[in-house]
Amino acid sequence: MSEKVLSLQNLMMSYSDKNVLNGINLDVYQGQIIGYIGPNGAGKSTTLKIMLGLVDGYGGVVEIFGHNIASGNDSYKQRIGYVPENAEIYDNLTAAEYLSFIGELYGLDREKAENKALALLEEFDMGDVFHSRISSFSKGMRQKVLIVSSLLHNPDLIFLDEPLSGLDANSVMIIKDMLEALANQGKTIFYSSHIMDVVEKISNRIVLLVDGEIAADGSFEQLKEQSKAGSLEAIFNQLTGFDEHKETAAKLVSIVTEDIPYE
Which residues are near ligand ATP by CB under 6 A?
A: 15, 20, 38, 40-46
- d(Cα 224, Cα 241) in Å, to the nearest integer? 16
List the one residue out of 212, 219, 251 whose CA is nearest residue 59.
Answer: 212
List the one residue out of 5, 24, 65 whose CA is nearest residue 189.
Answer: 5
Residue 172 CB neighbours (<10 A):
15
Residue 46 or 100: which CB sits closer to ligand ATP?
A: 46
Residue 15 or 90: which CB sits closer to ligand ATP?
A: 15
Residue 103 C-beta: closest distance to ligand ATP, Å: 28
Residue 232 C-beta: closest distance to ligand ATP, Å: 15
Residue 19 or 238: which CB sits closer to ligand ATP?
A: 19
Residue 190 C-beta: closest distance to ligand ATP, Å: 13
Residue 131 C-beta: closest distance to ligand ATP, Å: 34
Strand locations in 65-123, DSSP E? Answer: 67-68, 80-83
Amino acid at 177: D
List the one residue out of 85, 88, 105 whose CA is nearest residue 155.
Answer: 105
Residue 41 or 66: which CB sits closer to ligand ATP?
A: 41
Question: 103 Cβ partners below 8 Å, 6+ apart?
Answer: 110, 112, 113, 114, 116, 117, 152, 153
Residue 65 or 236: which CB sits closer to ligand ATP?
A: 236
Residue 55 C-beta: closest distance to ligand ATP, Å: 8
